[in-house]
């Protein structure tokens, strides 16, 4: 890896996520990281992390799990039986995608009774959730809430450098810069693009260059109808 590409990653803070990849701290997620550092001293023993798809909410959830031993469930898995309440600390992802309000209330209450905490993720802030249960609404309103933004150029470049290095792919700085300026600004897109570049370069037995990146991005736009 060249010195200039390595510096992209080193300019950002790192937060070890144990079983996950290193978590890079940047302005778009620093407030959320600060909230995680306050655990377990969260208001109401709960926290809502919200932001657009691909901004890193799931990665933050795994950082929390690594620290707390929390169990992670999707909103659709929180059944009225309260099965997931057996864990003192719990993560419920994608709450605004549809959740049984009574089951979520029961799960939250059970976690608190066990001395645990509840971390919830969603795309929208809690005030926009379709939660018509007054008891749940009042509890959620008392929790901490923090927004996560899409990655900026520095963070996206650092993530690309790491993903490429993980696959032992050698690229020039021009490739990384071209990607950060032209790709969808999300971690999910970064993973998908690096995977596609790896497959294409292996199939063609050629280096990863800006023209190859341009073709991969154009193909993604065609498939997405963009």
pLDDT for residue 6: 36
- Please state, as a whole number, how many other Cβ atoms lie within 10 Å of the Cβ of residue 142: 11
Give per-residue pLDDT as tens, 172-222.
999 999 999 999 988 889 999 999 999 988 888 889 999 999 999 999 888
Cα angle, residue 187 at apex, residues 157 and 5 outer, rounded to 5°? 15
Question: Which position has the higher pLDDT, 132 or 16?
Answer: 132
pLDDT for residue 48: 98
Select 29-147's CATH number: 3.40.718.10, 3.30.590.10, 3.40.50.300, 3.40.50.1860.
3.40.50.300
Q: Read off the tokens for 116.
A: 């645990």
Asked if residue 208 lies in contact with residue 201, where contact means CB atoms within 8 angstroms, the answer is yes
Q: DSSP letters along 65-112, please?
A: HHHH--EEEEGGG--TT-GGGGSSSEEEE-GGG---HHHHHHHHHHHH
Q: Was domain 151-224 assigned CATH 1.10.8? A: yes
Give per-residue pLDDT as tens, 67-98.
999 999 888 888 655 555 566 899 999 998 88
Q: At what angle do helices 153-166 and 173-182 cross, to 10 degrees?
A: 130
Q: Read off the tokens for 18.
A: 């144990």
The residues, any chain, with a CB within 8 Å of residue 90's CB and separated by 6 or more, are 70, 71, 72, 73, 84, 107, 111, 116, 117, 118, 119
Could you state, in order of their start, the residue ranges of all structural domains in the chain? Answer: 29-147, 151-224
């Amino acid at each position: 890896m060249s010195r200039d590409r390595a510096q992209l990653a080193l300019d950002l803070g790192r937060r070890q996520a144990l079983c996950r990849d290193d978590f890079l701290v940047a302005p778009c997620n620093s407030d959320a990281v600060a909230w995680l550092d306050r655990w377990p001293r969260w208001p109401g023993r709960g926290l809502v992390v919200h932001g657009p798809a691909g901004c890193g909410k799931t990665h933050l959830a795994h950082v929390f799990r690594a620290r707390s031993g929390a169990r992670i469930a999707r909103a659709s898995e929180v059944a009225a039986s309260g099965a997931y309440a057996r864990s003192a600390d719990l993560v419920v992802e994608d709450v605004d995608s549809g959740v049984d309000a009574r089951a979520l209330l029961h799960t939250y209450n059970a976690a608190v009774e066990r001395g645990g905490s509840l971390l919830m993720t969603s795309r929208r802030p809690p005030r926009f959730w379709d939660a018509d249960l007054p008891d749940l609404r009042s509890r959620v309103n008392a929790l901490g809430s923090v927004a996560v933004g899409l990655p900026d150029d520095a963070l996206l470049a650092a993530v690309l450098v790491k993903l490429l290095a993980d696959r032992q792919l050698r690229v020039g700085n021009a490739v990384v810069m071209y990607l950060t300026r032209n790709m969808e600004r999300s971690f999910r897109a970064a993973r998908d693009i690096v995977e596609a570049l790896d497959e294409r370069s292996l199939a063609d037995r050629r280096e990863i260059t800006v023209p190859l990146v341009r073709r991969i991005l154009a193909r993604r736009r065609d498939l997405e109808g963009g």
